[in-house]
Amino acid sequence: MKSTERAAGNGFSGSLGPHVCFAAFVIVAGLLTLSLWRSLISYSLRDDSYSHILLIPLISVFLIVMDRKAVFREIRSSIGFSVVLIALGAFGFWRASRQSFSDNGRLFLSLASLAIVIILIGGFLLCYGRRATRAALFPLLFLLFMVPWPDLILAPTVSFLQEGSTDVACFIFRLVGVPNLRQGFVVSLPTVTIQVASECSSIRSSMALLITCVLAAHFALRTHWRTWLFAALVVPFSVIKNGIRIATLTLLGTCVDPSFLTGRLHNDGGFVFFFLALAMLWPLLRLLQRWESRGRRLSGDSTKAPAAGYAS
């Protein structure tokens, strides 16, 4: 379908019409999907794994405002594909709301939230046009982080983190000379037996690490494939970080004080190992930056490339 565009001003210094239009669009869409937002708020407050959901829209808005000169350099309302996106999102939300997911409420939230993201992207395209949407593509796609994962994705992810974390913990035990016997997610040591339960998979910390690293790559790197590479590195480092956490708490509990197995470091000390993972990933980000800079020098590119996330 061919898109029809109409000039509508330049950035914040031009006409406020597009901004008022998009604000009205967001308000109307929010009122029509109020039940979903209530469920998302309740879900994020109830499930620690998705406590970040409410922050994602705020971060997206901040990213757009921070880069507003590039995003709103040329505003042209776009009709065509934007209507297709809005209609597709509305249909998806309608289908999700009509299904009965009493046994799996997260599936409804996942489908309905994805539909809302599609509607918002369509509304942005409608009010600001293709060039503005292309410039704001990273903040708009960043909204996908507020979509809860359905069980068909979450369950195998948690299982993978459990498996990998147990492998790393057992490796550390062998490395320090502590004999251990593993049966599934249960590891027996001479003085204690631990179980790496699903709650110990560190899915919340891993999600926070992924979001943080995606943002860091967006600001630090200029090419898409290096950004994706750095984001992919979060997976093995999340496993390593959690394995170190399990081994450290177990060794402290057996060699220093048994309270380490149930104390504050166990329950609330995840941020310590989160920053450990960041410290391990930081040199890799710097290496990718230098690799990128060297590639530009070798290619003779003396001009500054677009910001990360917008490069081709």
Q: Is 186 helix (H, G, I), strand (E, B) or coil?
A: strand
Q: For residues 3-30, give the mean pLDDT.
A: 71
Query: Which amino acid is present at 271?
Result: F
Instruction: Indicate whether 137 pLDDT > 80.
Output: yes
Q: For residues 274-287, give the mean pLDDT.
A: 92
Q: Which two tokens stand for residue 151?
A: 């069980």
Phi, psi of 236 (to 5 degrees): -65, -35
Residue with token string 């590891």: 187
Q: Which two tokens stand for residue 215?
A: 């943002």
Annotated domain spans of the chain:
4-148, 153-298
pTM of the model: 0.81
pLDDT for the residue 16: 81
Percent of the chain exceeding pLDDT 70 equals 83
pLDDT for the residue 132: 92
Instruction: Indicate whether 194 pLDDT > 60.
Output: yes
Distance, CA of 154 to chain centre: 14
Instruction: Indicate whether 100 pLDDT > 60.
Output: no
Instruction: Indicate whether 3 pLDDT > 80.
Output: no
Instruction: Indicate whether 123 pLDDT > 70.
Output: yes
Higher per-residue confidence, 170 vs 309: 170
From residue 99, alpha-carbon distances to 29, 56, 96 in Å are 20, 26, 5
